[in-house]
Amino acid sequence: MAFILGSGSPRRLDLLAQLGVQPDAIRAPDIDETPLKGELPVPYCNRITRAKVQAVQADGDDVTLCADTTVALGRRILGKPEDAGQAAEFLHALSGRRHRVITSVAVRRGVRVLQRDVVSQVKVKRLSDVEINAYLATGDWQGKAGAYAIQGPAGAFIPWISGSFTGIVGLPLSETAALLQGIGYPLYREVS
């Protein structure tokens, strides 16, 4: 049984290491992540994760794990910004407000797929133009849903969360551990 991480995210790799899991292979799937017309954030995140886990090439007994993290401001999906201008737009929209961070995790072994959606609440303090511009200059917003990463410099902008910190980072560890055990992956091995 090989363990395949279907993600190129260094954050997910680091979080898996906290569970003592080192992938045998990393195969980031290439799928279209465009939201469907009128698609709501939780169903969108769930659909993308399922598409990812199905797209990864794996042998019948291999365990494949994929995840997707989506930032939702009401019904609006804030994906990965295309440029600094869009990142600034996202940060201005989040400033002084609460939003949801949805991370969907799926594990597949053969034809069996187990999946969980974890929804957390995040409050961003009211941001000044100076704070936004300084953050944009770090480049930390690149490749991040909603244009920020809680574990980076933007952590200074977040006074309150409710839910899973590791889910906000990109892989909720408690739920991931339960999914891996549920699919038959020997997560906690006895020490002899």
Distance CA 117, CA 167 (A): 9
Distances (CA, A) of 155 to 91, 149, 160: 13, 7, 10
Catalytic residue check, 129? no
In sequence order, which residues have a C-beta less than 8 Å from that of residue 7 and are 6 or more positions away?
13, 26, 28, 52, 65, 66, 67
Long-range contacts formed by 149-154: CB under 8 A, 24+ apart = 149/11, 150/122, 151/11
Instruction: Quote the crossing angle between the two packed helices 10-18 and 173-182, to the nearest 10°.
Output: 70
Backbone angles phi, psi at 68, to 5 degrees: -140, 140
Q: Which of 24, 32, 59, 68 is catalytic?
A: 68
Q: Which residues are catalytic?
A: 68
